[in-house]
Structure formats: structure tokens, C-alpha cells
Amino acid sequence: MITMEHICKSYKVAKRDAGFKEACKALLHRDYEMISALSDVSFEIGDGEMVGYIGPNGAGKSSTIKILSGILTPDSGTCLVNGRVPWKDRIRHVRDIGVVFGQRSQLWWDVPVIDSFELLKDIYSIPDSIYQSNMEELTERLSLSELIRTPARQLSLGQRMRCEIAASLIHSPDVLFLDEPTIGLDAVSKLAVRDFILKQNEIHKTTVILTTHDMQDIEALTKRIILIGKGKILMDGTLEDIRRGDRNIDETVAELYRSYGI
């Protein structure tokens, strides 16, 4: 169970202007401004739900995910994930979550993927029996048996992403955060990834929070959508709530952003 209540977060950002004269001025004095990333963000996500978290760039999506994973501390408000405050109880909280950053890899580059998995087994202190059974299941469902002896460096993007997802599930987390999981993947790989996530949620009741710009991902995976814009939650509903006739989903979302002025 994930609850966020009245979370607020602002950042202090140095103002930097372009140009030679401005650069000289910056030598002596720096101006700062406070940017509000999140204001009064509240929502509740139940166990086993699959939620799509959407919004334009800079809306506050990554700040929310960072707070939920315990990386960032908010200025005010409360947040509980499975009864724990993420940033206060970081180590125990983090044992139960899995994170996939679409554009960054958690695998060691030059050694076979299986070596990375075994290191993760050590990091998460996973007992042998659980590791074995998880590895069997993940290898089968993601078709990894031919890949795991290959160094990550030599895998294609689609193959690597399958390994990344497996890596984030080895320790049987309750919650899975996916940040742009299908970015750059070909159509076949995208379908494979989406299929896998659906099954994962079905079999293990893993709560899934998906942030992405790919609306087909959202369509395929989630029923519930939370829309964030300029740091505020603008909508918390379903895909049906925003669909307009048989308009293309990307156009629908673009129109949605426009209507909210974000």
C-alpha cells in the first residue's frame, strides 16, 4: 500500500545567463531562485495495482518517484510505502522495491549477465533457494537462457532491457517502479516487455508504477492514470476518462496537456 499526502518539494536553482558579460558577472555574484517541483501531491495506490504516472517533461514525475524510492526527502507532507517512510527507513524500504531506469543500466558491462545477477544476489542477501527459483522463473518468462552468459556490452537494446527487468525482480520486490522501460525498443521487444509485466502483476501481485511518454505502454498495462503537471496532481482516473471517441491516444494526451495548460 502506497500513500502520499500533501507532499511538497522545492529546489534552489542557480540562475545562469548566456553571454560573455553575464559570465563575468557570474564570477562575482550568483542569483538563485526557488523552483517548486511538487505542491500538495496526494494519492493512494493499493497492493497489486498498476498505475500509469504521466505528465509533460519537468512536471515532477521523477521527483515523485525519487521520493517514493527513498532517494529524495520532501520538504513537507507524509508518505508511507508498506508501512514505512521511504527516506527514513531507507535500507529496509529499498529491499522491497525494484527500479528500472530506462536509460541507465544496472548491469556490469564487460562480464556475463549472470555475473551481475549473482552480485545482486549477494547485495540483496537472497537465500539460495529463492534465488534459484526466481532465476528459473525469470529466465523462462523473459527467454533469457541464451543471453545470460553474454556480456551486457554485446547485447542488443531489447535483450538488455529484458535482463534489466529481470535484475530488478530477482529479490522478489512488492513494488516495481518502471521509468521509460520501452524507450528505444523495437516493436517485438516492446510487446515482450509489456506482456511480461502484465504476467508479473497477475502472478505475483507486484504493484507497478509506470512513468513513460509511450502511451501504448499505458494503454497496454494500466487501468488507472495519474496526471501530474507543474507539480500538481491534475487528474486521477482511468484511461476511459480521457479518451475522446476514436482519436489517436497520443493526440488525446496532447490535447489533455493543452487543456490543463501544461
Partner 1 sequence: MKRGLKLYGHYISITVRSMMQYKVSFLLTAVGQFLVSFNVFLGIFFLFQRFSNVKGFSYSEVLLCFSIMLLEFSLAEMYARGFDMFPNLVRRGEFDRIMVRPRSPILQVLGSRFELTRIGRMLQAVVMFVYGISVSGVNWTFGKVMTVVFMLIGGSALFTGLFLIYASLSFFTLEGLEFMNVFTDGAREYGKYPVNVYGKRMLQFCTFIVPYALVQYYPLLYLLGRVDSPAYIFIPLLAVLFLVPCYGLWRFGVRHYQSAGS
Partner 2 sequence: MRAVKKYTSFFRLRFSMGLQYRAAALAGVVTQFAWGFMEIMVFRAFYEADASAFPMTFSATVSYVWLQQAFLAFFMAWMMENEIFDAIVNGDVAYELCRPVDIYWMWFSRSAANRLSRAVLRCFPILIVAGFLPAAYRMEAPAGAAEFFLFLLTLVLGLLVTVAFCMLIYVLAFYTVSAQGLRILFVSCVEFLSGAVIPLPFFPDRMRMVMELLPFASMQNVPLRVYSGDLMGAALWRAAGLQLFWLAALTLAGKLLCRRAVKRVAVQGG
Report the DSSP pairing between strands 207-211 and 97-101.
unpaired
Which part of the chain contacts partner 2 (CB under 8 A), choosing from 18-26, 87-95, 97-105, 221-229? Answer: 18-26
Which part of the chain contacts partner 1 (CB under 8 A), choosing from 41-49, 67-75, 136-144, 225-233? Answer: 67-75
Is residue 95 at the binding interface for partner 1, with CB under 8 A as the rule? yes
Is residue 23 at the binding interface for partner 2, with CB under 8 A as the rule? yes
Q: In angstroms, give the least distance from the CB of 39 to partner 1.
A: 16
Q: Helix/strand/coil (H, E, C) string of the chain?
A: CEEEEEEEEEEEEECCCCCHHHHHHHHHCCCEEEEEEEEEEEEEECCCCEEEEECCCCCCHHHHHHHHHCCCCCCEEEEEECCECCCCCHHHHHHCEEEEECCCCCCCCCCEHHHHHHHHHHHCCCCHHHHHHHHHHHHHHCCCCCCCCCEHHHCCHHHHHHHHHHHHHCCCCCEEEEECCCCCCCHHHHHHHHHHHHHHHHHHCCEEEEECCCHHHHHHHCCEEEEEECCEEEEEEEHHHHCCCCCCHHHHHHHHHHHHCC
Give the whole-angstrom CA distance, residue 190 versus residue 167. 18
Pick the closer one to partner 2 by CB: 26 or 85. 26
Is residue 262 at the binding interface for partner 1, with CB under 8 A as the rule? no
As to burial, measured by CB atoms within 10 angstroms (0-12 exposed, 13-18 middle, 19+ buried), residue 109 is: exposed
Which part of the chain contacts partner 2 (CB under 8 A), choosing from 19-27, 101-109, 177-185, 241-249? Answer: 19-27
Is residue 71 at the binding interface for partner 2, with CB under 8 A as the rule? no
The answer to whether 208 and 168 have CB atoms below 8 angstroms apart is no
Q: Which of 5, 6, 8, 26 binds partner 2 (CB under 8 A)?
A: 26
Cell 556490469 -> residue = 108
Is residue 115 at the binding interface for partner 1, with CB under 8 A as the rule? yes
Q: Which of 1, 8, 80, 119 binds partner 1 (CB under 8 A)?
A: 119
Residues near partner 2 (CB under 8 A), total:
6
Contacts (CB under 8 A) with partner 1, residues 148-187: 151
Is residue 12 at the binding interface for partner 2, with CB under 8 A as the rule? no
Q: Which of 2, 7, 41, 63 binds partner 1 (CB under 8 A)?
A: 63
Pick the closer one to partner 2 by CB: 23 or 123. 23
27 binds, among partner 1, partner 2, none (CB under 5 to 8 A by kind): partner 2
Is residue 72 at the binding interface for partner 1, with CB under 8 A as the rule? yes
Q: Which residues contact partner 2 by CB under 8 A?
A: 16, 20, 23-24, 26-27
Q: Which residues contact partner 1 by CB under 8 A?
A: 11-12, 63, 66, 69-73, 87, 90-92, 94-95, 97, 99, 101, 104, 106, 108-111, 115-116, 118-119, 122-125, 151
